[in-house]
Chain A
C-alpha cells in the first residue's frame, strides 16, 4: 500500500496540473471571448448601410467573412423588420365607460374589435401599450445562441447595431460611447455628407480605440 501510493499520488498530481493548465488556457480564452464586440453597423434613416466594421472574427468559427454586399442586404432587411416589430406592439384595451360592459377575459375581444370599428366610432375602444410610460420602439435587442444584437435608434432615425457576445455586460454604455464618437468625429466634420457612407479617418481611429480593446 505504501509502495503504490506515491505513484498513484504522482499520477493524480500530474493529472491535476494538466487539468489546471487546460482550464486556465481555456479560461483565459473565455475571458477574451466574453467581452467581445464582433461588429458595428450604422444604418441611415433610409435603410442604407453607411458604416460597417468587424472588430473580431465571427462568433462562429465556421462562418466565412461576411462581405460588405451581404451587410448591405442585411441592413435593408433589418430596417424593414425594425419597422414591423414596432407595429406588432400588442394593444391592451383600457377600461372606459363605453366598453367596460364587454368582458375583458373574452379571448376574441381583439378579434372582434376591427369589426366593431366599422359600426361604431373607433374612439370608443381605447387601447394602450403594455408600458405606457415608454415610447413605442422597434426591436432593441435580439438574442441568439451565439451572439446578441443591440440596436440603438437616434432621434433622427439613424440606427447603430452592435453585434456582441451574448454575455457582454453594459452594452448600453458601449453604445453611448460609439454615439458620442459618431457625433464628435462624423457629425461635426464639415466635409461629411449626410446619409452617405462614412469615410472619416478620425472616426475610424476613435471607434477602433473604443471598441478594439473590448
Chain B
C-alpha cells in the first residue's frame, strides 16, 4: 500500500484517503490486510445488510463514533513493525481472487453466528486466526512444538547438563563397583545381581539430571610398588576422576551398596543451591567421635600449654569463615563417626592437598592395624590432628545423602507424630535432624546405604526391598490409579472370602 500522504479525517468524519477505505487497494487487487478484510466478523452487529462491504460499514461506524478508529500515531514497536514482518512472509500462490470468495462465504457465516452469544463466534475467531497467512505461521509453530515434544528428552538432558543452565556436568558420581573383589573373593549370583541393580539405578539417576557417572573397578590388585596401600584406592580413584572430568566441580563418591530412592531430587536442589543451610560446619553440633574443637593439646597432659595458642582465628573458629564457597568436603556422620559411603569432594587446591596427605606411609605403618575402615579412619585422624582441614570441611545430616536401613546403627528411633516438620525445640528429635541416621519412608529420604550388609546381613534382600519401595513411592498418577483399583478389588474379594469362611 502506498499512500502519497498521511490520511487525515475529514471534518464531517471518515477519511479523505481513499486507500484506507477499500481492502482492494493494491495494484494486484490483493488484500493486503486480511484482518481488516474480515473486520466485519469481529463486530457482527455493525454489518447490517447482506451486500454491505467492509468499507462502507467502516465509514458508517466512523461517522457514528465521531472519530476514526484508525490511529496514525505510532503505537509501539509491534504496531510499527508487524506489517513489515508479516509482509516478509511469502504469499500463497493464488492471490486475492480466492480471498474474495472466502471473504464472502465467511461474511455469510458471520451473519448467522451473529445471532447467538459471544461464545458462538469462537470457531469464527479461530478461523480468523488461521487465515491463510497465519496458517503458515501456525504450521511453523506447530512443527516447532512437535520437534520440541519429540526431542523433549534430549533437550531436557542437554539443558540440565549444560553448565550455563542446569549445571549437571559439574557433578560426577563415582560408583565403586567390585569392592574387595578380585583376588579376595569370588562373586556369586547375588553379588552380580546387587551390582547390576545398583549400577542401573545410578545410571538412571545420572541420565535423569545430566550428571557424569564414573563406575570404577575397586577389585584388589597389585597396583603399587609398595603393596601395603591396597584397599585405599578411594583417594586415587577420586584423583583420577578429577583428571578425567576437568570441567566438573563436585565429585560424589558412592559405595556399591547404595540405592537412590528418589531419582526426582536433583543434587543442586537437594543440597548445593543452598549449601550453607543443608550442611553444618561446627563438629560440636553432632560429635560422635568427640573430636575436640577448637583443637587441643596432643600430649594428653591437661597442664600443658594449649595446642590452640598458635592457631589463627579462622582455623580455631568452629565454623571456619562460614561461607558456603569455602566448603570443599562434605561428609555425613553416622552414629559412630564419619561415613564415607557417600560423600562429596570439590575440585580445589585444598582437596588436592587433602587427597595427597590422606595416605602416608608413616601413618600407615603406625596405624594400619587400628584403622579398620582405612580411608575413613584416616580421614577422622587427619581431621582431628591437622587443623587446616577443619575450615573447609562441612558435615551433612546422614539422612539427606546416606540414610541407613533399620538396624545398621542401633535401633530406628522413629519419627515424631506429624513428621519432622511438627518437631518443637524441646522435643526429642528422634530420627529427625542432624542425628537422624535411619531411612524414613514418610520423609522420602534421598538415598539409602546398606552399609555393613556384607557382615551377616542380606545385601541382596535389602537392595530388592528398597528398590521395590522406591518404585512404589515414585509411581505415576496413572499407575497409582490402576494399583488403587486392583487393591480395592482384592480387598473386596478378600472380604467376600472372609464372609464365606466366617
A, B: real partners: no
Give residues in A with beta carbon < 8 Å to B.
none
**Interface of B toward A, CB cutoff 8 Å:** none
